[in-house]
Amino acid sequence: MILATALLLGGVVIGWWGPRALHSLSGVVDPAIVIVCWLAAMVGTGVTVLAGGLLLVLPGHGPAGTITQAMHHCWAALGHSHLPQLDPAVAALSLAVAAVVLVRMAASTARTARRQDAVRRPHLEALRILRPSRDGVAPMLWIEHDRPMAYSLGGRDALIVATRSLADRLSPDELRAVLAHEHAHLHGRHHQVIAIAETVAKALGFVPLMRLAPGVLRLQVELAADRAAVRECGRGAVRSALLTLTAQSTLPGALAMAGGETAARLRHLERTDTWPRAVRHFVTGVAAVLAVALPTLTAFALLGALSVLVCPLLPSAG
């Protein structure tokens, strides 16, 4: 029971205090790294808590005894055999919590899918009627509207929607920057990232790491798309496009360049650097591995601290 408890506590520590560490990365490293770290921490926290729950439910706690004995022989004195009456109660509670979480996530996923389908349906009808041009990774749908705006819809039928007044309002370089920004959203699968974060937040909103994820990731995907547009069109074009476009409310499931947080994004543009692609991918991969492993590493750190503090107090075997 000791290992299971440590895993659960490791997940709790990262779930409640992990956002502080992740917030410190914002504005310091590439937004893509922040996105990957936040998602990886969410996955790692969920897997660690799930593993702890499974060890409580499995007969004999599965391999927990073997692992703990391998780490230090003195943990045997603190094993679950001293409090066997707690095992069924804790296991039942773990199963109940897991069932509630699964039901909430299933319901949240279904609601999100219905809402996005309702938004996507009229766009797909327009696609079939207007036969828009395909520009890059997704079809481009131009619509008549007095307000200059552009947004993208991700998923299987991804597309970019822009108004004719946008082309009239922006210079060619600014327009290219806006479209590059929207292409970056689709290429980076940012819509799916936000949808996953929102689904998990609705199911596990009592955990700060999960509750804060949608808001944080919405800003980070905009910063990441801005960086991609800078690499393609230059900082000046992206900056002037941001200043020209006004903030707009986006449709459910859509991402737009003028989606808010303009001041923060303009400040970030001044700090934008261009890492070589290989370096970016390497650093992102290392950061993802560390973020996934962080809850488990925290759990084993707790076990190590317990060993150091408690073992000297135990009576010697001889």
Average pLDDT over residues 265-293: 85
Structure tokens at 181: 């920004």
In total, the chain counts a number of residues equal to 318
44/155 same-domain check:
no
> Same domain for 292 and 245?
no
Q: What is the distance of C-alpha 284 from the center of its chain?
A: 14
Going by the DSSP 8-state scheme, the letter that residue 76 receives in this structure is G
User: Does residue 97 fall inside a structural domain?
Assistant: no
Please check the confidence at residue 277 and state whether its pLDDT lies above 70: yes
CB 22 within 8 A of CB 212: no
- Whether residue 71 sits in one domain with residue 9: yes
264 domain-assigned = yes
pLDDT tier for residue 148 given thresholds of 50, 70 and 90: confident
> What pLDDT is stored for residue 82 in this prediction?
47
pLDDT at 136: 58
| Pairing between β-strand 138-143 and β-strand 159-163 as defined by DSSP bridges | parallel
User: In whole angstroms, what is the distance from residue 1 CA to residue 306 CA?
Assistant: 14
Assess whether 237 and 266 both reside in one domain: yes
> pTM here?
0.79
Which residue type is seen at 253? Answer: G
Identify the weakest region by mean pLDDT among 67-81, 112-126, 127-141.
67-81
**Per-residue pLDDT band at 58 (split at 50, 70, 90):** low
For residue 209, give its domain range.
Answer: 118-274
Which residue is listed with tokens 């107090």? 313
- Joined together, the tokens standing for residue 288 give 């993802």
CB neighbours of residue 197 within 10 Å: 24
Paired tokens of 187: 């290429």
Summarize pLDDT for 66-91 with one digit per residue, the tens.
444 444 444 444 444 444 455 566 56
Same-domain status, 262 and 294: no
Which range (51-60, 77-86, 217-226) has the least confidence?
77-86
Residue 211 has pLDDT above 60, yes or no: yes
Q: Where does a domain end: 274, 290, 307?
A: 274
Name the pLDDT band for 272 (thresholds 50, 70, 90). low
- Please classify residue 311 by burial: count the beta carbons closer than 10 Å to its beta carbon, then call 0-12 exposed, 13-18 middle and 19+ buried: middle
Q: How confident is the model at residue 162 (pLDDT cuts 50, 70, 90)?
A: confident
User: Are residue 18 and residue 76 in the same domain, yes or no?
Assistant: yes
Is 102 a domain residue? no
